Amino acid sequence: MTPPHAPSEAAPAVAPAGWSPASWRDRVAVQQPEWDGLDELRAVTDELESAPPLVIPGETRQLSASLAEVAQGRAFLLQAGDCAESFDSATPESIERRLRVILQMAIVLTHSAGVPVVKLGRIAGQYAKPRSSSHETLDEVSLPSFRGHIVNLPEFETDARRADPRRISQAYQRSATTLNLLRAMTQGGYADLTKVHQWNEAFVAATGVGRRYETLADDIDRALRFMQACGLDTDEVPQLHEATLYSSHEGLILDYEEALTRQDTETGEFFDTAAHSVWIGERTRDLDGAHVEYFSGIANPIGTKVGPTATPAEVVALCDALDPHRVPGRLTLIARMGAELVTERLGPLVEAVAESGHPVIWATDPMHGNTFTAPSGRKTRHFDAIEQEIRGFFEVHHRLGTWPGGIHVELTGDDVTECLGGSEELSDDQLGLRYETMCDPRLNARQSVDLAFRVAELLREQQH
C-alpha cells in the first residue's frame, strides 16, 4: 500500500525574496491567542527551536511526490481525522481506532475504485482552532473562546480559558508520541493487507456497511492467495505489508510553526517540521496576511480552504502567492462550499485556476459548509448533505474534465453520535448519546466507511 512512485527529482523550492520563518511577523496575524506570559512564550519557542523535528524532509518530499500523482489524476487524496484533537486522545486505543478507520476507508477506495490513495491524517498536531468570536459570553460572563488544546481548555472557567504558552510544548510532545505510534503501527505489521478483516471494529462489523466491508476483505484475501498460488512470494512485496499515513494540521498558531521550521542543509529549503503538510483555514487566507506569508516560503506541500465567498481572481492570486513555480501537488485547494452552493460556486473557480496553469489538487471538504444547529441544540451535520456536496464536487469536475482529487473529512474511529443520518439513520434524539467532540461534529467509524463506499462509486463513474 506504499505508493509506488519514488521521491520526485524536482528542483528545490526556493522561498520568495525577503522571506524568512519569521517574516510573517511584519503582517497582520489574525486568530492568534493573547498569550498570557510573553516571556514564557519566548522560553517555550526557544526550546522548540532546538528540539528534534517531528518529521524530516525526506518523508515530506515523498508526500510531495505522491501528491504530484494526485494533481495529475493518477491518485486520490484522503485527508481525514479530528476537527480538534484532544491532548487526552494521545492514547494507544484512540490512535489505533483513528488509524484503523482511515486504513479501512483507504482500502475501500483503492479496492473499489482502483486508484492509489494518499493517506493524510488530521492527526498528531491538529490542536489549534480558529473561532468566529474571540470571546464567549454566558450569563453575562465573558471569557476568551476555546482555541484548541494547544492554547487553552474548553471548560467555561477563567483559568481554563487562559492562553497558556506551556501548552505549546505539550502539543509538541503529544504530536511526537502520536506520530511515533503511527509510524510503528503502519510500518510494523498493523497495516499488513492480511489484516484487513481485523481492522473492522465490532460496532461497524455488525451493520450492513460492515458486512459490505467483510465481503471486500474476503476479496482481498482471495486475491492474495491467488498471487501466492501463481508463485509470487507476497512476503517479499513491502507494499502489501506496510502503509504510509502522513500527518497534517491547520497551521494556525504561527509561533509554533515558526519554532519548528528547519532549513534543509542540502538544498537550502525551509520545512515546517511540525507535520508533513499544513493548511490555511478559511478565516486566515487573506492574501496580505501573516499566514499566506509564512506558507509561501515553506517547502512542504500545503493546502488552503476555499469557501463560497471566494472569487476566481482571489483564488488565482492565492495560487500565485503559494505556488509561484507551478509545482504539481504543491497546493491543494480544499473547497468547502456547502451542499447547496457547490455546483454554482465551484465551477468558476476550477475554470479560472485551470486557465491560470497552476497544477493544483482540488479536494472537497463536505463538512464545514454543512454545519447547523439541530432542534436539540447540538451542532451537527447530516450525512446526506455531506454526500450531496461530494456528489456536486464530482459533477463539476466531470463537466469541466478536471480531476476530483480528494476528500477532506472530519471523523473519529469511535462510536460517537455527532452527525445525523448514514445507513443507521442516526436521529436528532440520538445525538446526546455519545456526543464527544470538543469542536465540530465528526463522522463515526460506520458513517466513515459508508462514505468511503459512496465516494468509491463516484470515482468509478468518473473513470468511465
Selection from Mn ion, ligand PEP, none that 454 binds (CB < 5 to 8 A by kind) is: none
In angstroms, rounded to a whole number, what is the distance separating the alpha carbons of residues 432 and 440? 14
Residue 191 sits at the vertex; the CA angle it makes with 187 and 196, to the nearest 5 degrees, is 165
The entry of ligand PEP, Mn ion, none that residue 446 binds, CB within 5 to 8 Å by partner kind: none
Contacting ligand PEP within 70-89 (CB under 6 A): 83
Shortest distance (Å) from residue 129 CB to Mn ion? 7
Interaction partner, residue 282 (ligand PEP, Mn ion, none; CB < 5-8 Å by kind): ligand PEP
Q: Distance of CA 280 to CAs 169, 180, 277, 291, Å?
A: 22, 25, 10, 7
Q: Which is nearer to ligand PEP, 81 or 422 (CB)?
A: 81
Residues 6+ apart with CB under 8 A from 324: 16, 296
Choice from 146, 440, 445, 455 touching Mn ion (CB under 5 A): 440
| Residue 396 CB neighbour total at 10 angstroms | 25
Q: Pairing between strand 404-410 and 361-364?
A: parallel
Ligand-binding site membership of 418 (annotated): no
Would you say 83 is a known binding-site residue? yes
The residue among 144 and 281 lying less far from ligand PEP, judged by its C-beta, is 281
What does each C-alpha distance from 364 to 91, 118, 311, 387 come to in angstroms?
Answer: 29, 15, 17, 11
3-state secondary structure of 180: helix
Residue 434, CB-side half-sphere exposure with 13 Å CA sphere: 10
* Least distance to ligand PEP, CB of residue 282, Å: 4
Three-state SS sequence of 7-46: CCCCCCCCCCCCCCCCHHHHCCCCCCCCCCCHHHHHHHHH
Rounded least distance, CB 281 to ligand PEP, Å: 3
Q: Do 240 and 1 contact (CB within 8 A), yes or no?
A: yes
Member of 7, 37, 53, 130 binding ligand PEP (CB under 6 A): 130
| 47 annotated to bind ligand | no
Per DSSP, 420 falls in state: B
Size of site (CB under 5 A) for Mn ion? 2
Q: Choose the one of Mn ion, ligand PEP, none that binds residue 336, judging by a C-beta under 5 to 8 angstroms depending on kind.
A: ligand PEP
Footprint on residues 80-99 left by Mn ion (CB under 5 A): 83
Query: For residues 404-424, b (16+ Cβ closer than 10 Å) or e, as one string?
Result: bbbbbbbbbbbbbbbbbbbbb
Q: Among residue numbers 415 through 454, which ones bind ligand PEP (CB under 6 A)?
A: 440
Return the number of the residue (350 or 409) whose C-beta is nearest Mn ion. 409
Q: How many CB atoms lie within 10 A of CB 143?
A: 18
Tell me whether residue 225 is exposed, middle or buried, using C-beta atoms within 10 angstroms of its C-beta: 0 to 12, 13 to 18, 19 or more.
exposed
Q: How far is the CB of 440 from Mn ion (least distance, A)?
A: 4
Q: Please tell me whether 195 is known to bind a ligand.
A: no
- Nearest residue to ligand PEP, by Cβ distance, number only: 281
Q: How far is the CB of 209 from ligand PEP (least distance, A)?
A: 25
Could you tell which of Mn ion, ligand PEP, none binds residue 33, using a CB distance below 5 to 8 A set by kind?
Answer: none
Is 214 part of any known ligand binding site?
A: no
Q: Which is nearer to Mn ion, 327 or 342 (CB)?
A: 342
> How many CA atoms are closer than 13 Å to the CA of 36, on its beta-carbon side?
12
Cβ-contact 444, 411 below 8 angstroms = yes
* Smallest distance from Mn ion to CB 333, Å: 17
The count of chain residues that interact with ligand PEP, using the rule CB under 6 A, is 10
As a whole number of angstroms, the distance between CA 395 and CA 400 comes to 9
Q: Which is nearer to Mn ion, 183 or 379 (CB)?
A: 379
**Given 281, 301, 392, 404, the residue binding ligand PEP (CB under 6 A):** 281
Quick one: 330 or 336, whose CB is closer to ligand PEP? 336
In the shown chain, the binding pattern of residues 324 to 363 toward ligand PEP, with x for contact by CB under 6 A and - for none, equals ------------x---------------------------
Give residue 401's region: left, alpha or beta (phi > 0; psi -120 to 50).
left
Please report, as a single letter, which amino acid is at residue 98.
R
Nearest to 150 by CA among 307, 7, 257: 257
Q: Is 249 a binder of ligand PEP (CB under 6 A)?
A: no
Is 439 annotated to bind a ligand? Reply is no
Listed ranges 36-44, 281-289, 322-330, 345-353: which one lies at the site for ligand PEP (CB under 6 A) = 281-289
Residues annotated within a binding site? 83, 122, 282-283, 305, 336, 368, 410, 440
| Site residues, Mn ion (CB under 5 A) | 83, 440
Residues annotated within a binding site for Mn(2+)? 83, 368, 410, 440
Residues annotated within a binding site for phosphoenolpyruvate? 122, 282-283, 305, 336
| Site residues, ligand PEP (CB under 6 A) | 83, 130, 250, 281-283, 305, 336, 368, 440
